[in-house]
Amino acid sequence: MNPLRSAIVRGARHVYAGGTVARGARPGDGYVFDRLRGYAEGDDPRRIDWSATARIGSLQTRVYLEETVLVLGALVDESPSMRLGRKRPLSAAAAEAVRAWFGAAENTDRAGRIVDERLIGDRRATVDVRANGPFDLRRSLELAVRALPQGSSFLLITDGLDIASGDAFADALLRIARRFDATVLLARDPWIDGLPLRGFVRIRDAETGRSRRVFIGPRTRERYRKASAERDAAIHAAFERARWRIGTLDEADGAGSLERAFGLR
């Protein structure tokens, strides 16, 4: 079993459900080897690995995981703001992360990606499919709740700019977390540490495409830095309140971002 799939399985075993715990990953037909560890009193003697014991010099027990069938669901933010980046678009890192996510699937595992308000269930198509229409985060999350089975492992990759304040989005995030083992990779503002602009410049809104000429001075850069940091903190807090697993999308390393979210780096 590859390390990412093992981490997803461990996360999927317990899904928060409003004060109760529901099983996430679905049981399969047997058990698969996970790792070796030192023998502990009460371990089944039949699981002692005598070759490893002789090699290491102390009793070693084989640890097995119950074989599971994973359902991997994903939703990738395809709004215009994800095309921004310092050295390359955030969307390129998102594509790497979703490729690693679905690449963790094995054998009878199932896959489903929410695109254009529909569920793509072909595992090969989930990696390369792209949206044709405008991205709507809230409606896509609501579709995920309806289309994916309970206990699925769900990945959202977004910059969170579409997350509005108020109860509607909070409820949507909570419903996802109650139904699935939910993970979000949050793409930070590429210029969160400060705008690399000075003087009179023409800027364009990434979402609307509208542009205007403005003066960028020290105070403007500082106001932008503070506003960007506050916005990122608010988005992070919204997912934290809903009990999602939260990672940061690194513009330079999408697959590594996913592994770090699951504690593999």
Q: Of 5-19, 90-104, 208-222, which one has max mean pLDDT?
A: 90-104
Structure-token match 């009179």, residue found: 200
Predicted pLDDT at 166: 67
Rounded to the nearest 10°, the torsion over CA 142, 144, 146, 152 is: -140
- CATH number assigned to the domain covering 70-261: 3.40.50
Largest interatomic CA distance in the chain: 75
- Eight-class DSSP state of 179: H
Task: State the number of CA atoms in the 13 A half-sphere of 221 facing the CB.
Answer: 13
- Give the whole-angstrom CA distance, residue 53 versus residue 49: 6
Predicted pLDDT at 210: 84
Average of per-residue pLDDT across 173-188? 94
Structure-token match 């058990």, residue found: 31
**pLDDT classification of 25: cutoffs 50, 70, 90:** very low
Q: Where are the domains of the chain?
A: 3-68, 70-261
Query: Which range, of 27-31, 192-196, 197-201, averages the lowest pLDDT?
Result: 27-31
Tell me which of 249 and 149 has the higher pLDDT. Answer: 249
pLDDT at residue 142 is higher than 80: yes
Average of per-residue pLDDT across 51-62? 92
| 121 CB-near residues (< 8 Å, 6+ apart) | 110, 111, 112
Reported as type and span, the H/E element at residue 119 is strand 118-120
Dihedral sign, Cα of residue 45, residue 51, residue 54, residue 55: negative
Predicted pLDDT at 29: 44
- Give the whole-angstrom CA distance, residue 106 versus residue 96: 18
pLDDT at residue 112 is higher than 70: yes
| C-beta neighbour count of 10 within 10 angstroms | 16
- Give the whole-angstrom CA distance, residue 77 versus residue 140: 10
Predicted pLDDT at 20: 37
Q: Which residues pair with 22 in a beta bridge?
A: 15
Pairing assessment for the beta strands 15-17 and 153-158 based on DSSP bridges: unpaired
pLDDT at residue 158 is higher than 70: yes
